[in-house]
Amino acid sequence: MSANKNMRAEQQKVAIIGGGAAGFFAAISAKSHWPKAEVCILEKSNKLLAKVKISGGGRCNVTHDCPDIVELSKAYPRGEKQLRKAFHQFSATDTRRWF
């Protein structure tokens, strides 16, 4: 998104590459920050949010009711350290509030 303040809102366009969970999150966030912007999600397949539908087993769910970031990140053995950092920026509580 251009930081040019002289650009009229009607001319602003945002392209999101990828129709997965992150793409939809980005599109919703862009629209909430720039309501007049045209936001377009580009996905190469014909299945939007396909991975969201098949993810499961609790390992992909970061909306658990566990306010302790260290404890929650232990449930993700392959990404514990990375998720701990991410949860400090945007916690499970923040995710639930966002939804």
Q: What single string gives the DSSP state of each residue in the chain?
A: ----TTS-GGG-EEEEE--SHHHHHHHHHHHHHSTTSEEEEE-SSS-TTHHHHH--TTTT----S---HHHHHTT-TTTHHHHHHHHHHS-HHHHHHH-
**pTM of the complete model:** 0.52
pLDDT tens-place string over residues 50-65: 777 666 545 556 666 7
Q: Is the pLDDT of residue 96 over 80?
A: no
pLDDT of residue 80 exceeding 50:
yes
Mean pLDDT value of segment 10-35: 91
Q: Could you tell me the residue ranges of all domains in the chain? A: 1-54, 56-99
Higher local confidence (pLDDT), 9 or 81: 81
